[in-house]
Structure 1
């Protein structure tokens, strides 16, 4: 009887030991209380967060970039959340930022190591989001040049004519110029797709097309080898030869139009004052800008530039004589 009692007690003790061991094991598997110790509380949370950041092997890789302003000349502003501010070199652009160059402003924006965008004077664009496959802007007015990377790389897209037309390419260099009513697109290198009114045309290197709002793109045409500017110089011809012009104003408006109605970017330089004025043509190739003159001196004016697609515009010259001498006083005696 005594022996049986010892066996029963030993068995009970064994069961109790197993139960205690199981209870300890269960307790060790439970996370420690977050109120007990900051270190103990944060350790499992950090592990959870870290496990959430590990992407699935099957998940697609998405690359993104922030467009950055690489250089600025003259007045350039950005509108963000309705507030305009000057742009500094190195500033990053966000989606819906409106970047605007003044009449004498110019900006270069680098999307990444392969893609850049140049905004000429008087240009306004609304910046879009930059993803691994697409970068886009909306051209409100003006002239932009885009240099894109490799075939199959990030696509650069320009929306224009109040988003009724699109221009895009993934490799090459192209220009887009226009306003709310008309657009000119030319490729200097590579192919560019132009879409409007449900039709797409492909513009190859050395060719250009024009688009009017709501209409289909024109058939791409070859860029001419030579382009000249028909000038309308200010003032009256001085002398019989008619080469020089005579004016009384201290500032004059220089007007002209590129041959073939091509859009372009021109520089008008006053060799007397050393000032240079950069001007973008209208979509029909016409342009005008005000030029300051040196008082009572001859002012040699030189006009040159390039069209969309990079064709050089032949240099034009004129000498404008500024004469501030008041006209003779006429006295009428009755």
Structure 2
């Protein structure tokens, strides 16, 4: 297995490269979309044995499927001066492990960046370890605990175990194919994602669940359309109140879900008097709101068919140059 050591380059990390190589070697989480081995905060306390929780699930590692039950795992205490990025993974024996990153001063020197946007500290590269990576955890300098915002999901779906086995053709099969093409191209039986419907075959939505297509229990496919709103630094005049900057209009049968928000100021800083909110116009309700200098990685869903507005307000006493970022998706 080829592995990489840390090199800043354009901001990529050695772990990014190594994780792709691990996947090519047949390493990954069997069903990340279904919640397999998701990492979340338990007590959050650093220096304890139950800092994080890891959901039950399967890790596929070089031909072996390891089934893990839900369990907790600890993180070491923080460095007093510099942050670090730890990596949670499953090893070749099917055991949970944590590889501590090296504490380093943040780089580049830009106060507008946020946790994992910094090149440094880099996460542990696992260059000498065969690992099914689950998550990366930002451990702030001098902290006594971590929160959900400090966890970055790094699970990658395993290449289907069955597809790693080659089906070798024989000359007899090829000769039969040449003389009778229908022998290999007979209509499939119902099942395996196909339903026989009066001489035609329709795709069954449930067969695609977990692959970016959701099954809503009907006969229709529900496709998630990603949302990313990042206009860059925007001047917000003093006295502005709930001014619309962006509008998200789903189809009548769709919902808008916001998964992450950030609101940063040029040069850093924060203020509870300058806010970014997501407003469900259909029910005249603020779905979620954050203040300047903060971030939120919780999930909020607007009601079906309702237009969502991105709005900003400023009551700080002066104009502010701020940068909003919103991520989410539309279910249709």
| Range class of TM-score, shorter chain | under 0.3
Q: TM-score normalised to the size of structure 2?
A: 0.28
* Greater Cα radius of gyration, structure 1 or 2: 1
More strand by share: 1
Q: TM-score normalised to the size of structure 1?
A: 0.28
